[in-house]
Amino acid sequence: MNAEIFLNQLKQSQLPLIAILRGITPKDAQEAALLLVESGFRFLEVPLNSPEPLKTLRIMADTVGDRAQVGAGTVLTTTQVSQVRDAGGQLIISPNYSEAVVKASVALGLTSLPGIATPSEAFAAIHAGACGLKLYPAEMITPAATKAMRAVLPATIACLPVGGIQPSADQMREYCNAGASGFGLGGGLYQAGMSMKTLHSNALRYREAWLQSLLA
């Protein structure tokens, strides 16, 4: 996996949104994965600070791995990178930039999406082989800041704001006009203990917001 391939995958997915399922448990893994994929999502993240995350990840990968990329978030060590790979994960997403984590992910053929907040971190991550950049936290990285960073970053690297992204066409459009390639969706999409009915409703709201954001 490299940056250009991942950017093309985002574009071809028609819904370049990463579903972040922090706090999800194995008992909801299969149903959540199915309803998200049926709602158009093609990128699913199980943060490693969730209950039994590797078990949940394995269930999701077995359930929808042929239709979506499933992976882990809050990946902080190279040991965790290997554990995610062994559980069937393809995405390695972190809140920070770690050269060791990025290089370990790339060496295993996984998609590395480190968290960055400055141009210096962004270029260091790209140099290490990152496939895309998680602009985190987006509450601090405004559309104006995104535009400023995007102006100097390679066009082939995906930039995905994460944090505080709402099912708002206006918000998404403003970020995309500034150069965002997609988004990571956290608490606005799913929170621990949420019913699958509510998750489904939220997923559809985000999908509609994305589609509306594409309109002039």
Choosing from 11, 103, 121, 134, the catalytic residue is 134
Structure tokens at 25: 């448990």
Residue 46 phi/psi, 5-degree rounding, is -110, 105
Look up residue 81 and give its amino acid.
V
Instruction: Return d(Cα 213, Cα 32) in angstroms, integer.
Output: 25
Residue corresponding to tokens 């709402």: 166
Residue 214 phi/psi, 5-degree rounding, is -80, -15
User: Per this entry, what is the length of the chain?
Assistant: 216
Burial of 49 (0-12, 13-18, 19+ CB in 10 A): exposed
Choosing from 4, 11, 45, 147, the catalytic residue is 45
Is 99 designated active site?
no
Q: Which residues are known catalytic residues?
A: 45, 134
